[in-house]
Amino acid sequence: MDRLDHLEHLDKALVDELAQVTRETVRDELRRHTRGQRRRAMLYAASGAVALYAGAALALTLGLALAAGLPDWAAALITAAILGVAAYLLRGAARGEQAHGGGTPLGPSGGFADPTGHPPVPPVPPVPPVAPGGAGAATGATGAPGTGTPGPGAPDVPAPRPDDIDPELPHHRA
């Protein structure tokens, strides 16, 4: 029995040592990875700052070129208007991509037009006319909202059961 107790101690020591080596390895790898990401982020920030100054120099050049034939105030006003229109167009492009992959807003409904010509996507998914399991059907509901049965003239479509759902089919979100 003494030999087995000694082996248990050895196993525990090996497991502890392996856990410590694994922690140190993962920590070192994360440090190296973080260092690379930090350097990349600093380069992106520097690139953005240089691009900002380049844009300012381009705007100044445009203003000076316009000032050659126009009064200074008119050249500055035209340059500001051009920059304002460019900012507005860029903001619109960013909003369209963020909201629905490049679509354009369609007014008060909140839906977005698809550039391929498909009908607009509603902002809220439709509510099924019958509650799952046909709740309310046994009580003689009249088709009023919340009763669980469709009103007169509504198609008699049973609610989907969990068995009917195919996980391989694509799921679309509104």
pTM higher than 0.75, yes or no? no
Q: What is the mean pLDDT of residues 32-61?
A: 89
Positions of E strands within the chain: 104-105, 112-113
Highest mean pLDDT among 10-14, 97-101, 104-108, 145-149: 10-14
Whole-number Å distance between alpha carbons of 121 and 124: 9
Which range among 16-25, 114-123, 161-170 shows the weakest confidence by mean pLDDT? 114-123
Confidence check: pLDDT of 73 > 70: yes
Q: Percentage of the chain surpassing pLDDT 90? A: 17
Q: Percentage of the chain surpassing pLDDT 70? A: 52
Q: Which of 53, 82, 51, 55 is nearest to 66 (CA)?
A: 82
pLDDT of residue 35: 86
pLDDT of residue 108: 46
Q: State the average pLDDT for the chain.
A: 74
pLDDT of residue 135: 53
Whole-number Å distance between alpha carbons of 57 and 83: 13
**CA 65 remoteness from chain centre:** 42
Q: Do residues 79 and 63 touch, judged by C-beta distance below 8 A?
A: yes
Burial of 79 (0-12, 13-18, 19+ CB in 10 A): buried
Identify the three-state secondary structure at position 34. helix
pLDDT of residue 90: 84
Whole-number Å distance between alpha carbons of 89 and 115: 17
Distance separating the N- and C-terminal Cα atoms of the chain = 67
What is the sign, positive or negative, of the torsion defined by CA atoms of 16, 18, 20, 23?
negative
Distances in whole angstroms, Cα of residue 52 to Cα of each of 47, 57, 150? 9, 9, 60
Whole-number Å distance between alpha carbons of 129 and 159: 9
pLDDT of residue 23: 93
What is the length of the chain? 174
pLDDT of residue 81: 92
